[in-house]
Amino acid sequence: MSDESQVTWKVTLPCTRSEGQAIADDFSPLALLDPPPVLITREADPAAPDNWLLDAYFELEPDARLLAMLRSLIPSAAGAAPVIEKIRDEDWVTISQQGLEPIHAGRFFVHTPAHRDAVPTDAISFEIDAGRAFGTGQHETTTGCLMALSRLKDEGAHFSNLLDLGTGTGLLAFAAMRLWPVARATASDIDPISIEVTEENAGINKVMLGRSRGQLELVVSPGLERHRLKARAPYDLIIANILAAPLIDLAPSVAGALQAGGRLILAGLLEHQAEKVANAYRRQGLIARFRIERGEWPTLVMRKRRSLSRR
């Protein structure tokens, strides 16, 4: 008999391309489970680019409740029978790492431990493990933010006080710190698990934690409500890779925390949501600078006017 402690359970369901891309960075409420599953989405057949698969890895055999939670992420799979199988842990380690291919975006190269030997010599590299992480660089929104940061650097932008709002794995905060290494940096998330993951990833990537210049302060906070986030304001760079609805709701507080002339990177929105999100920030005195197109997921870069009469 096999030792059940050495077995991982894998559930595979079909999904659409848009569902798979949306899952990559946000899979609540499954992310709140202890331990959470690892979700990997992939294109099943290059000849059918809209037909993807979702692989979910659980430490325990998934029951009807967990399967229902999984199905809630992918409405298109309502009538599909899940494929459930057991795999040994040593196989799971290989599968989980190989399932996340490296991402090269702008100046950055993001990889799992399985691809340490593939790092280009001219890239700024980060190692983000599969583990509990969400926001590993695989999603178009994260890639778009990395490209936006690279472009701002190429344009000669300088930042001294930056905030990664909704940090996930900490990747975008790490990337901004590498480009502007003497800046004060803050990473926040509503989910305490995200902050734990960010702290782990900071150690792996040799990012110093703390409140001084060149260090990253971590804060658990819904939006910008916590005192520490308000005390660190105003920021000259805010990165917010979350979802369209909270981006709109947070527009007054985010704009209020951004200094005049500061830059704002907005992501986590679909193409048809971009104008509504942009308008919410235009009403707060921001103007569009440029956008990064990544399939259905644009990344918006805006600047806060120095005065209402000047552009």
What does the domain layout of the chain look like in residue ranges?
Answer: 4-98, 103-304
Looking at domain 4-98, which CATH architecture does it have? 2-Layer Sandwich (3.30)
Q: What is the pTM of this model?
A: 0.71
What pLDDT tens digit does each residue of the chain (311 aa) get? 344 445 678 899 999 888 887 775 555 667 777 777 878 777 777 677 788 888 888 888 899 999 998 998 899 998 899 999 887 655 544 454 455 677 888 899 998 877 788 888 889 999 987 654 444 555 678 899 999 999 999 999 999 999 999 998 899 999 999 999 999 999 999 888 889 989 999 999 999 999 999 999 999 999 999 999 999 999 999 999 988 889 999 999 999 999 999 999 999 888 889 999 999 999 999 999 999 998 788 999 999 998 654 44
pLDDT at position 159 is 98
Query: Is 20 flagged in the annotation as binding?
Result: no
Q: What is the pLDDT of residue 33?
A: 75
DSSP string, the chain: ---GGGEEEEEEEEEEHHHHHHHTT--TTGGGSSSPPEEEEEES-TTSTTEEEEEEEESS---HHHHHHHHHT-GGGTTPPPEEEEEEHHHHHHHHHHTS--EEETTEEEE-GGGGGG--TTSEEEE--STT-S--S-SHHHHHHHHHHHHHHHTT---SEEEEES-TTSHHHHHHHHHSTTSEEEEEES-HHHHHHHHHHHHHTTPPBSSSTT-EEEEE-STT-SHHHHHHPPEEEEEEES-HHHHHHTHHHHHHHEEEEEEEEEES--GGGHHHHHHHHHTTTEEEEEEE--TT--EEEEEE-SSTT--
Domain spanning 103-304: which CATH class is it, in words? alpha beta
166 known ligand binder: yes
* pLDDT of the residue at 216: 98
User: Does residue 191 have a known ligand-binding role?
Assistant: no
Query: Is 79 marked as a binding-site residue?
Result: no
